[in-house]
Amino acid sequence: MKALKASSLREKSVEELLKDQEDLSTQMFKLRFQKSTGQAESPLRIRGVRRDLARVKTILREKLGARG
């Protein structure tokens, strides 16, 4: 999966960002579970997903902070 860019995330709505956050959190859980059971196909993918999740959360915080 290609890394998400902050500029493309800023173009998304809050609802889309919340869905992305949920998807990435689920993916992160699955990857961590695979790692703990020794079935991880690519341990470096965890780093990418973690960073993408952080990007999404940061943009969400920016958008929600601007509202209220």
**Residue 3: pLDDT above 80?**
no
**Residue 2: pLDDT above 80?**
no
Through-space distance between the first and last CA atoms of the chain, rounded to whole angstroms: 34
Give the pair of three-digit tokens for residue 12: 């998304």
Instruction: Give the C-alpha separation, 49 to 55, whole Å.
Output: 10
Enumerate domains of the chain plus CATH numbers.
6-67 (1.10.287.310)
Lowest model confidence (mean pLDDT) among 21-25, 40-44, 58-62: 40-44
Q: Is 51 helix (H, G, I), strand (E, B) or coil?
A: helix
**Residue 1: pLDDT above 60?**
no
pTM of the model: 0.85
pLDDT in tens, 28-51: 999 999 999 988 778 889 999 999
